[in-house]
Amino acid sequence: MESEVVRTEMVLAPSLPFKKVQTADKYPKGQSRGRQWKHLRHLLQAADASTMPPDRPNYLNIQSPPSIYPSKRYCDITGFEAPYMDPRTKLRYADPEVFKQIRTLPDEYVQRYLALRNAAVILR
Amino acid sequence: MTGGSGVVVIDNGGGLLKAGFGGDKDPIAVVPNCMAKPPGGNTKKWLVADQLQADDVDVTGMTLKRPIDRGYLINTEVQREVWERVVRNLLQVDPSNSSLLLVEPMFNPPALQHTADELVFEEFGFNSLCVADAPSLVHLYEASHQPTRFRAQCSLVVDCGFSFTHASPVLQNFILNYGVRRMDLGGKALTNYLKELVSYRSLNVMDETLLIDDAKEKLCFVSMDVPGDLRRARLSFKDNPFRCSYILPDGITYKKGFVKNMDEALRYCSLPLDQESDRKDHSVETNKFEDRKKPELSQNEFALTNERFLVPEMLFHPIDLGINQAGLAECIVRAVQACHPYLQPVLFESIILTGGSTLFPRFTERLERELRPLVPDDYQVKIIRQENPILGAWRGGSILASSPDFESMCVTKSEYEEMGSARCRRRFFH
């Protein structure tokens, strides 16, 4: 007897008083749900940080602050230490050989190399 | 069924999902938390979790779907498939008569807490749920194993995982949440960076996330002296102590990628840690002049040199990657400085490293070297890495689940059905 009671509960989705829309109504059985999830970015925008008390920690304000140390410079092509920067393409390079290579690169590739270290110029 | 406690413990990581029973020492399943599909339109079937780990699976060009984005459970559809597989096939339990201890990321937005509750209670029908966070579980595990070390009942847990890195002060099993600092860098970002570097420099591997993951785990290490190592990495072929190649699977003889010559790959370990003996190295190298020849690179392998240490280097200096955040050492210092001054010396003395990305060789030594100059010199700096950084949080969860007052910490299904997610969550101080 006991087990049968439990089973009927499993078949009939419980109606939850705290919900405006019941899950069973929102997604009827046998139908595909499609894409029902949102990106984290949207969720964070929805949970607007400006409405929260500023002294309470949340996702946005626990972010590690910018470093107080300067960045090291690595060659964009080879990865070695780069003492030089090409003023035209803004690529960093390690030695003259790499420089020759850089000057033969089409602009599109230059931008991709820059994008590797998030330094690409994005024109909108 | 082992365990017998009836408590399922799931550490729902972005990279690996750890699941088992409370009270056990080790989880039963440590599986990738994702679904994958082989390339080509003819197969519709997605491989879920442990099916990806099988020996005869060729991971080349797999399309991946992950339920977790930047550490937060976003896609419950995918997560349900993975849990379904783990709970029913690997753990073989009936959720309706077991409790669940779920490890959730810190500062989970309420919207995501609700969807997680929905998944646990409405889709799976677990009997009761307890939510915990990784740092306090790690602290619990370490404090119960080495009670003498953590007499002060507080520690700074540095969790360097797949999606992000947190430095969180823990006091008496509770996180001091005003002290937590996050760095948006983890194993995933490092794999992607290595993938880009290899693709730009030798072979296009942009679709081979799983292979590069494997290459990263086997070949990357943390450099103790970056400028010196860069100089050494410039030497050509045979003299180069870092050069090694990784062979990609060809689908016929090899189903998995592997390191071509492991001895060669580990040569860096024998290098001296300081710059002074650089000159000695050169004399040894000239002896080997005769067997120097150009190694032939076949189609399906790529060579790594300076990438091997420049990739983990990003954790210490994210600014090099264009991410304007402080590195790990600075992050730790700021987390500690946010706490009460009396706590600070104790926190510096009990830093616990956990998470898969701390497995890079020499990670601890390097962190200590970076941290020392930033810490007042009358404080001691002691860093320990967990014995098994991947399972650390799960093991803590297992201890918590087998403690006598675990039941009282849970929210039961009937409570959820009556009061809803938001009210129930208050029990976990959310």
The CATH number of the domain holding residue B79 is: 3.30.420.40
Buried b (16+ CB within 10 A) or exposed e, B156-186: bbbbbbbbbbbbbbbbebebbbebbbbbebb
Residue B283, domain member (yes or no)? no
Residue B358 lies in a domain: yes
**Bridge-based pairing state of the strands B351-354 and B383-385:** parallel
Q: Which residues of B touch A59 (CB under 8 A)?
A: 107, 109, 182
One-letter amino acid of B268 = Y
B77-114 as b/e: b if 16+ CB within 10 A: bbbebbbebbbeebbebebeebbbbbbbbbbbbeebbe
Who has greater pLDDT, B190 or A29? B190
Note whether residue B319 is domain-resident.
Answer: no
Same domain? For B165 and B213 the reply is no
Strands B99-104 and B128-133: parallel
User: Is A60 a member of any domain?
Assistant: no
Q: What is the pLDDT of residue B284?
A: 38
- Subunit contact B109:A47, Cβ cutoff 8 A: yes
Residues B305 and B347 placed together within one structural domain of the fold? no
Q: How distant is the Cα of A113 from the closest Cα of chain B, in angstroms?
A: 8
Closest Cα of chain B to A50: distance in Å?
14
Considering the domain architecture, whether residues B90 and B32 belong to the same structural domain is answered as yes
Low-confidence ranges of chain B (pLDDT < 70): 1-5, 41-44, 237-238, 264-265, 270-299, 423-430
Using alpha carbons, list the distances in angstroms from residue B121 to B32, B131, B193, B320, B426: 23, 13, 38, 44, 17
Residue indicated by tokens 């599109």? A108
> In angstroms, what CA-CA distances link B54 with B58, B215, B256, B303?
9, 18, 10, 26
* B267 and B242 co-located in one domain: yes
Q: Could you tell me if B127 and B63 lie in one domain?
A: yes
Q: What is the pLDDT of residue A1?
A: 47
Secondary structure (3-state) at B401: helix
- In this structure, are B114 and B148 located in the same domain? no
Condensed to tens digits (0 to 9), the pLDDT of residues B144-164 reads: 888 887 777 889 999 998 988
Looking at the fold, whether B225 and B258 belong to one and the same domain comes out as yes
Tens-place pLDDT, residues A71-105: 788 888 888 888 888 888 888 888 888 888 888 88
In a domain, B284, yes or no: no
Beta-carbon contacts of residue A86 (< 8 Å; ≥ 6 apart): A92, A93, A99, A102, A103
Q: How many domains does chain B have?
A: 3
CATH code for the domain of B227: 3.90.640.10
Q: Are residues B55 and B117 in the same domain?
A: yes
For chain B, positions 229-248, list CB contacts with chain A under 8 A: 230, 233-234
Contact B70 A40 (CB under 8 A): yes
d(CA B129, CA B101): 6
Q: How far is CA A52 from the centre of its chain?
A: 22
The residue written with tokens 């990806």 in the block is B52
Residues B47 and B124 in one domain: yes
Q: Is there a contact between A80 and B230 if contact means CB atoms under 8 Å apart?
A: yes
**In what side-by-side order are the strands of the sheet with B301-304?**
B258-259, B244-247, B301-304
Q: What is the mean pLDDT of chain A?
A: 73
**pLDDT band of A3, cuts 50, 70, 90:** low
Regarding whether B343 and B232 lie in a shared domain, the answer is no
B278 inside domain: no
The pLDDT assigned to B430 comes to 53
- Written as one letter, the residue type at B189 is A
CB–CB contact A113 B72 (8 Å):
no
**B74:A38 CB<8 A:** yes
- The verdict on residue B47 lying in a domain is yes
CA distance B239 to B283: 11
Q: Which three-class secondary structure state does DSSP give residue A42?
A: helix
Answer whether residue A54 is part of any domain. Answer: no
pTM: 0.83
Amino acid at A70: P
Same-domain check for residues B179 and B203: no
Kindly state whether residue A97 falls inside one of the protein's structural domains. Answer: yes
Contact A82, A92 (CB under 8 A): yes
Q: What distance in Å separates the CA atoms of residue B311 and residue B206, rounded to the nearest whole number?
A: 16
Min Cα–Cα distance to chain A from B357, Å: 18
Residues A27, B122: Cα–Cα separation, whole Å: 12
**Cα–Cα distances in angstroms (integers) from residue B262 to residues B251, B357, B426, in the given order:** 21, 21, 52
Select the more confidently predicted residue: A34 or B259.
B259
- Name the amino acid, one letter, at B339: C
Confirm or reject contact between B107 and chain A (CB < 8 A): yes
DSSP A17-28: TT-SS-HHHHS-
User: Contact B331/A64, CB-based, under 8 Å?
Assistant: yes
DSSP notation for B195-261:
HHHHHHHT---TT-HHHHHHHHHHH----S-HHHHHHHHTS-GGG-TT-EEEEPP-SSS-SS-EES-
Measured at the CA of B48, the angle between CA A41 and CA B118, to 5 degrees, comes to 50
Number of CB pairs < 8 Å for A and B? Answer: 124
Structural domains counted in chain A:
1
| Distance between A108 CA and the closest CA of chain B, angstroms | 13
B243 Cβ contact list (under 8 Å, min separation 6): B233, B237, B264, B303, B304, B305
Domain range for B262? 187-273+293-314
Length of chain B: 430
HSE-CB for B147 with a 13 A CA cutoff: 1
- For residue A101, the enclosing domain spans 72-123
Q: Is residue B374 part of a domain?
A: yes
Residues B109 and B32 in one domain: yes
Q: Quick check: is B320 in a domain?
A: no
Planar angle of CA B192, B194, B200, nearest 5 degrees: 105
Partner-chain contact B319 A10, CB within 8 Å: no
Q: Are A90 and A119 in contact (CB under 8 A)?
A: yes
Helix (H) or strand (E) segment spanning residue A10? helix A2-11
CA dist., res. B423 & res. B421, Å (int): 6
Q: What is the number of alpha carbons within 13 Å of residue A101 lying toward its C-beta?
A: 16
